[in-house]
Amino acid sequence: MAIEVFNRYENKYLMDSKAFYVIYNRLLEYMELDEYNKNDKFYSISNMYYDTEHDSLIRNSLAKPKYREKLRIRAYGIPEEDGKVYLELKKKVFGLVNKRRTALKLNEAYDFVSSGIEPEFKTYMNKQVIQEIKYFLQRYDLQPKVFLAYDRIAMFCKNNRDLRITFDTNIRSRRYDLKLESGDQGESLISRGQWLMEVKAEKTVPLWLSKMLSEHQMFRTSFSKYGNEYKKMRNERLAGERIQL
């Protein structure tokens, strides 16, 4: 059964392909690949982010307050219309990431977010999380805003399953045809060959990992996929308006 409640700290690092392969091969000494990466394959993740008409959730998040929150539907691969997805409520409080999610069928997730009416309970759902998301939906009038997808390699520490490291590349987005079942195509959000590494841990990272990152001059960065997409869209819109003037 998939874990549906997460409380952890997340640190992010941007790197090129050369640095990725060096770090990746070093990490294999301490970590093992996710089951979906066992044959040296990526797995793709697709996300639909929801926001208000005037993008209040992402604008608030970019202001970096002590508390911020987002809602998204996440799918692994391209889902069928009645395929399994996760509806996720992600919060960040004083740097601690709290993620709560429930499995739903895609059409159930769409209907829930658009109407605010909780779906008829099924055994694959998390009743408590559904109630929390229902309360969230009562506070905001949400609509689908942006599709984001990427290819991922994930690793778990052999001696501590609470330590997870992911590498995302080919991050892409679109603001048209906002349906997860429509495919995972989109415009590139980062340069070709760039990787985003995320270190996710419930507590502090182990000493061996801190030394490894320091040795390879890996420094933490602030990188929100949705946040960077929003800034890119906003800048392109402003540039277009200046040209018209």
pLDDT tens figures, 137-165: 999 999 999 999 999 999 999 888 889 99
Q: Report pLDDT for 38.
A: 75
Q: Report pLDDT for 2.
A: 57
- Length of the chain in terms of residues written: 245
- Exposure string of 25-57, with b = 16+ CB inside 10 Å and e = fewer, is ebbeebbebeeebeeeebebbbbbbbbeeebeb
User: Is 68:61 a contact under the CB 8 Å cutoff?
Assistant: yes
Domain count, the chain: 1
Q: What is the pLDDT along the chain (245 residues), one digit of tens a residue?
A: 456 788 899 999 999 999 999 999 999 999 999 888 877 688 999 999 999 999 999 999 999 999 999 999 999 999 998 999 999 999 999 889 999 999 999 999 999 999 999 999 999 999 999 999 999 999 999 999 999 999 999 999 988 888 999 999 999 999 999 999 999 999 999 999 999 999 999 888 999 999 999 999 999 999 999 999 999 999 988 887 777 76
Q: Report pLDDT for 240.
A: 76
Structural domain that includes position 182:
5-244
What is the CATH classification number for the domain harbouring 23? Answer: 3.20.100.30
Reported pTM:
0.93
